[in-house]
Amino acid sequence: MTEIEAFYAAVKGDAKAITAVVEQYTPLVHKIVNKYSWMALPHTHEDLMQEGLRGIVKAIETFDITRKVQPMTWIYPQIRGAVQVLARKENRVPKYYVPIDGDDKECCIPDPCSAYEISNNYDSHLTREIILTGCGSLDSKRAQIVCDRFGLFGRDPMLQGEVAKKYGMTKQAINSHISKFSRIVREKMPELAEAF
């Protein structure tokens, strides 16, 4: 049975074919997990692998045979999406209550001094080091673009087009900033080369 035949059999519910497809795409899950693991320090490699494997099963369950789509075209985004969601889940800034004008009343305004502070269960040191290495400072435009794109330091992850609109740039310019950031980090931090 070829790989495509096995995938179509899995979509139809064949348990052996499902197992074969999961085994076949496990190396892809490893590759994607290695790419995003630097964002998910609170989670183990196994946690991310589990989410990636769930992505394969979701791809099998949601694949539409009537469409003329190659299995890999459907599986890859499902795996990547599952891993990204878990990797970005903990990168949220908790709300800090700040008194207004010396009032005792507290409001729900995030403390501007804590813009780069994140929840206690997430180790931000490595992320800060990566951003500083790739961008030069946390306040640079490239750093802001990277943080917005990947949802770092409590920001919600944004699509490339959303980031481009926010900064009044083209998608290609945003992609250029992200690529340059990745290249610099790979060169200066070779131990993280697999993640980029």
- CATH code for the domain of 36: 1.10.1740.10
Digit-by-digit pLDDT tens for the chain (196 residues) are: 788 888 888 888 888 998 999 999 999 999 988 887 777 666 677 888 899 999 999 999 998 888 888 888 889 999 988 888 887 765 544 433 444 444 444 444 343 334 334 333 344 677 888 888 888 887 788 888 988 888 887 788 888 889 988 888 888 889 888 888 888 888 888 776 555 5
The verdict on 78 and 21 lying in the same domain is yes
The whole-number pLDDT of residue 23 equals: 92
Give me the pLDDT at residue 13, please.
87
pLDDT of residue 54: 92
| Any domain includes 186 | yes
2: CB partners within 8 A, 6+ apart: none
Q: Which domain holds residue 158?
A: 120-195
**Is the residue at 109 inside a domain?**
no
pLDDT the model gives residue 40: 65
In the block, tokens 């040191």 appear at: 125
- What pLDDT, on the 0 to 100 scale, is given for residue 27? 92
Q: What's the number of domains the chain is made of?
A: 2
pLDDT given for residue 173 in this prediction:
87
Asked if the structure places residue 29 within a domain, the reply is yes
pTM for the complete prediction?
0.46
pLDDT at position 117 is 42
